[in-house]
Structures are given as structure tokens and as C-alpha cells.
Structure 1
Amino acid sequence: MEDEFSGARWRKSSHSGGGNDCVEVAFVDGGAALRDSKDPEGGAFRLPASGWRGLLAAVRPGGPAHD
């Protein structure tokens, strides 16, 4: 994992169930970082705060991804 996220506090959604097949998020300076829970050492990417808000809007019921 990149040193950039070494102190990040990663969280899974409470909706992910008991499996390990979800996306984890860590809130970092200016936005959010995302990674695959199955491969936490495989890397992560950062979204600015506006990108995180846009992602949430797209995946929430009634959002653009559900039109």
C-alpha cells in the first residue's frame, strides 16, 4: 500500500454483510480513498470531496445510476 494511506482508517459499509467482497473507504485530507477489501495491499485511489459526493449521489436509490 502506498505510504500516502499508511495512517488511513479504513471502513466497510454496514451493508456489506459478512463477506470480504466490498469496497473500503477512508476519509483523507480533502476527500476519500477507496480500495478493494479482498486486496487491501493492492492499492487505493483518492477522490476529491466533490468526487466522493458525486459517487454517493450516483449509487444512492433514485440517483443517476438508477434512472
Structure 2
Amino acid sequence: MTAEQVEDLANRLHGIQLPEAPFELYPGTIIVDIEKFLATQLTTLRHSPEAKTSQPCAWRLERFLELVEPMQ
């Protein structure tokens, strides 16, 4: 993922109405603090967007948007 793709992802997240917590991202994966979840995932991606260890953050954010955007 490039730095530009990270910012595009962040822009998609900006201004959306957040669902109530707890929020199930995947079966067995529950987000308790949504704002903290978003902040930590974006921070990790912005710090090293091209690292393989950052890929799961991108996947989680994409999944979150996949679930939340239709609710808007």
C-alpha cells in the first residue's frame, strides 16, 4: 500500500457516522472502541505503509468500510 492509498482510505473514513460499539468486524473479532481502532490502524499504516506487517491494518480498515458504508 502506498502513502497515497493510505490517505485515500483515511479520507473515506473521515466524516462517516460510526456505528455503536461493540462492533463485529469478523466472527469473533469485536471492536470495543471504534475511534481508537481507527486511530491505531491508520497510525500503523501511515508509519510504514509498504511494510508487510501493515497489510492486516489495511485489510481491517477495508472490511470496516465494507460493513459501515452501506449503513450511511
Larger Rg: 1
Greater per-residue helix proportion: 2
TM-score between the two structures when normalised by the length of structure 2:
0.27
Greater per-residue strand proportion: 1
Whose RCO is larger (CA < 8 A, sep 6+)? 2
